Amino acid sequence: MKEAILYEVIDDNTKEVECKLCSHYCKIKNNYGGICRVRFNHNGVLYSYTYGKVDGVAIDPIEKKPFYHFKPKSRVLSFGTPGCNFKCANCQNSYLSQSIKLKPDHLLVQETIPPEEIVRLAEKYDVDGISYTYSEPTIFFEYARDIILKCKENPGTRNLVHLFVSNGYFSKEMLQIVVEEQLLDAINIDLKFIDDQKYLKITGGHLKPVLDSIERVFSANIHMEIINLVIPGENDTDESFSKISEFIANLSKDIPLHFSRFYPQYKMTTKTPTPYSTLIRAKEIAESYGLNFVYIGNTDIPNAENTYCPNCKFLVVERERYLTNVNYFVENGKAKCPKCLETLPIVV
């Protein structure tokens, strides 16, 4: 374990602290943990129990995250650590994110992998970047930050890109460090619901902090893509699709929006997978709000993952699951449509 950052002692007598890493802003009594259950207060010092407790190390195509407009066809080293600041009833990685909350002391006996080892693996396998994913990277921010800084010190990894796949419940203070230290190149944020009561019931969080994070990331000019897992009976209405689309369109019509198909998981095993017709309707509604890049994931719907030039509709990136074929050309570091020469909002 390692001392956390972004916390302060709020009572010198009781040693109570406030954690400022995520939007829960937990006030944690001495010898207690926060909502995530992997950050603990011992005598007024907050510790991260997840530091270096790596799980799920893999090399993935960047499209799996999913990032469709950032470094297409690149390869990223992916991993997570146990725990989460949400308790999503539909979690597809509950073994990693939720089970540790029952017995957090198990983290103390799990082997710690130092940041240098992650850097070594990234260099050994010649990846293009590192993706902090599978569980919420906010709760292991200290570890991710140390890895990124070590990468920048190493000649063989200093040009790697660094990506967060996040629920968006990080604090403004955390994002400020990200911006000031130029830690992240891209963030994929899961906008789970557009209704606060749904957020509270299913995740334990609230809607507004996630919307605030999306607005802040956009203002910080960090590449961002947004995903919405469409769950039957929870967020599959035309109203939900319209509100999400309107919110994104008001920021930028070029932000990629991914509607993803739900499959029964964790505490939602009695639900059915999302009908294709619902996902197609979601895409149509989003496009009616002027969004230029709307995708459907976790299906075999033809052309649902392709990118088309918003100006002339030429197929500029063809995708079938994680197989990607790039048809644009690059000029002065910009992706260009070969048919109409439109500059495409794709980071190459």
CATH superfamily of domain region 55-305: Aldolase class I (3.20.20.70)
Tell me the pLDDT band of 109, cut-offs 50, 70 and 90: low
Is 68 within 8 Å of 307 (Cβ atoms)? yes
Arithmetic mean of pLDDT, 108-126: 92
Does 121 have pLDDT greater than 70?
yes
Phi, then psi, of 229 in degrees rounded to 5: -80, 120
Is 161 within 8 Å of 186 (Cβ atoms)? yes
For residue 24, give every residue at least 6 positions away whose Cβ sits within 8 Å of its Cβ, in sequence order, or none: 34, 35, 36, 85, 169, 205
Tell me the pLDDT band of 100, cut-offs 50, 70 and 90: confident
Arithmetic mean of pLDDT, 164-190: 98
Long-range contacts of 242-247 (CB under 8 A, 24+ apart): 242/285, 242/289, 243/194, 244/191, 244/194, 244/286, 245/285, 245/286, 245/288, 245/289, 245/291, 246/289, 247/194, 247/211, 247/214
Instruction: Give the DSSP per-residue string, 25-43.
Output: --EE-TT-B-TTSSEEEET
Kindly report, residue by residue over 233-263, the tens digit of the pLDDT: 999 999 999 999 999 999 999 999 999 999 9
pTM, 2 dp: 0.97
Domain boundaries, the chain: 2-48, 55-305, 313-348
Arithmetic mean of pLDDT, 181-201: 98
Is 270 within 8 Å of 237 (Cβ atoms)? no
pLDDT at 111: 85
pLDDT at 110: 77
pLDDT at 103: 72
Phi, then psi, of 248 in degrees rounded to 5: -65, -45
Arithmetic mean of pLDDT, 80-101: 92
